[in-house]
A and B are shown apart, each in its own frame.
Chain A
Amino acid sequence: MIRISNISWRFLSVWRRNLIVYRKIWKVNFMVPLLEPAFYILAFGLGFQGLVTNLRYGGQALTYTQFMAPALIGISIMYNSFFETTYASFVRMYYQKTFDGMMTTPLSLEEIILAEIVWSATKAAAAATVMLFVLGLFGFVAFPSGLLVVPLAFLGGLAFGSVGMFFTGITPSIDMFNLPIFLFITPMFLFSGTFFPVSGLPAWAQSAALVFPLYHLVELTRLFCLGRVETPPLLSVFYLVLFTLCFLFLALTTMRRRLVK
């Protein structure tokens, strides 16, 4: 069983290790969130603008790019944190044996795993910050409320980082990550009100979307960027917190079972 008493602020030293490695190639790390939204906005803005007219979201008429831009940040938060605690953490755990080395020091397994998840959230928040300013330059973000996306990205990062770490705890090999990506991440990417409003879907599909953490994350990014939502924001925050706590617990439990033998 996991022990709460095993968690102390010492976890920050592991978080710091990841920050130092990240800073070594920060230019590459910043390139993606810098250019990706620009590509999407250009492609969809130029290509889709004429096709999609009279789009309404939360009772307001929006252009397609206005509607989509906040979702891009939500998607990026999901990908950044989920990939960090799946592929990147798996490489550190399995191939580099970094966690084995750490467990000869006064660090607990719980602290190492927590640090990985908090780090993935930090990385997501950094990417979201960069995107926020790029999209802000295009005029898609209302300031100062848009700045709230940064702490939101951290929360969203914790949620997806935790679920990613849970998959790392149970996956037999690195290739098997294709499964949660295909069955969990990709459907979420498509059906979370990211590219079309969920309110236009049949009722059953609308209820189904409520289960997706990305749906709630995107709702909240729209709230902070556009001032509009279709779901009560407190419900979305509550869902994300609950989701994070559940998967944080599962991540710690499965990783303990995997590594402590």
Chain B
Amino acid sequence: MDPIIQAECLCKKYDGFTAVDSISFEVQPGECFGLLGPNGAGKTSAIRMIYGFAPISGGRLRVFGLDIETEWRQIRSRIGVCQQDNTLDPDLSVLQNLLIFAGYFRIPARKARQRAEELLHFFALEKKIEAKVGELSGGLARRLTLARALINDPELIILDEPTTGLDPQSRHLLWERLQHLRAQGKTFMLTTHYMEEAAQLCDRLMIMDHGKILIQGTPAGLIQEHIGTSIIEVGGAGPELRQFLIDRSIGFDQMGERLIIYSNGDHTIEQAVRTTFRPEQCTFRSATMEDVFLRLTGRELRE
């Protein structure tokens, strides 16, 4: 099968500033593809090009095998987009938001009505059907945005930070709904700052920084390749421990007072830390996507 998204040397420049610097990737049908990166890495710029919101500055981009520059209208009729900002229409009720959006896709009124009711049910919004959008909480608004993005029964769903700012309950509900949609064979492309979310939802992901792709692969594969299986976090360690690690060329990062040791399941290191150095605080844990992310993009603040 042909890929859903095919980007070759894709670039985005704004007046001399390069936001996306020649990235290439593919998203396969039925796949959930994650796009991670610190703020300003170029995630949103990349995503905006995919739905034809921002014109591409260089390279080639095909969605459903169609050229985004000339066949954008056809492409947009087959995708659903959940933008980072709340773009719900505050002048309209919950139901009207869906019905009028359906009009932009030229979905006939009866079909739109039926589809809107299904979606309101799917996202547990039936009780809010006549509510004004301004009265919705963050979680409800996000659910409505997602419902709106699905009004045209899209084959590809693009989610730009779908769970940012949501409480854990809303986030879990959203994940559960997304899994449900994945089971229907929809293709997803999402950006997120939550590594747990990325590891849980995505089949494959890539990490971007400064407009470039640092790595791409499966979450488990990337963790294994870049971190290993386990981590020891040590607080209040003396210089002896650091020397010990350097002598044995064991990877570690310093973060303030804490040492992050990439022990990769090596029991001798664990033993040494436990018995020889006896730090004040010590945590033994599995490696996560967050470790990969921080190791590659650096631990210092970005903005």
Contacts and interface: CB of A to CB of B under 8 A. Distances in A.
Contacts of A60: none
Contact of B54 (A102, A107, A108, A261): A261
A144 interface: no
Nearest to A21: B91
B53 A103 contact: yes
B76 A98 contact: no
A20 B54 CA distance: 29
Contacts of B243: none
Contacts of B86: 97
Interface residues of A, number: 22
B104 A107 contact: yes
Interface residues of B, number: 31
A104 B103 contact: no
Contacts, number: 69
A152 to B, nearest CB: 29
A14 interface: yes
Interface in B79-97: 79-81, 83, 85-92, 96
Given A13-B103, A16-B103, A260 B55 contact: yes
A98 B89 contact: yes
Nearest to B74: A106
A161 to B, nearest CB: 19
Nearest to A260: B55
Contacts of B92: 17, 20-21
A101 B76 contact: no
Contacts of B175: none
A10 B77 CA distance: 13
A104 B89 contact: no
Interface in A5-20: 10, 13-14, 16-17, 20
A186 interface: no
Interface string A204-229: 00000000000000000000000000
A115 B288 CA distance: 50
A104 to B, nearest CB: 4
A36 interface: no
A105 interface: yes
Contacts of B87: 96-98, 100-101, 104
B172 interface: no
B76 A104 contact: yes
B146 to A, nearest CB: 12
A10 B81 contact: no
A96 B87 CA distance: 6
Contacts of B148: 101
B73 interface: yes
Interface string B252-263: 000000000000
Given A20-B100, A261-B54, A105 B105 contact: yes
24 contacts: A13-B100, A20-B100, A96-B87, A96-B91, A97-B86, A97-B87, A100-B85, A100-B87, A101-B83, A101-B89, A101-B148, A102-B104, A104-B53, A104-B80, A104-B81, A104-B149, A105-B76, A105-B105, A106-B76, A106-B106, A108-B73, A260-B54, A260-B55, A261-B14
Given A10-B106, A104-B51, A106-B76, 11 more contacts: A16-B100, A20-B96, A96-B89, A96-B90, A97-B85, A97-B86, A101-B88, A102-B104, A104-B149, A105-B76, A107-B104
Q: Which 3 A-B pairs have the closest CB atoms?
A: A101-B87, A104-B81, A105-B104
Interface of B: 14, 51, 53-55, 73-74, 76-77, 79-81, 83, 85-92, 96, 100-101, 103-106, 148-149, 152
Interface of A: 10, 13-14, 16-17, 20-21, 24, 96-98, 100-108, 260-261
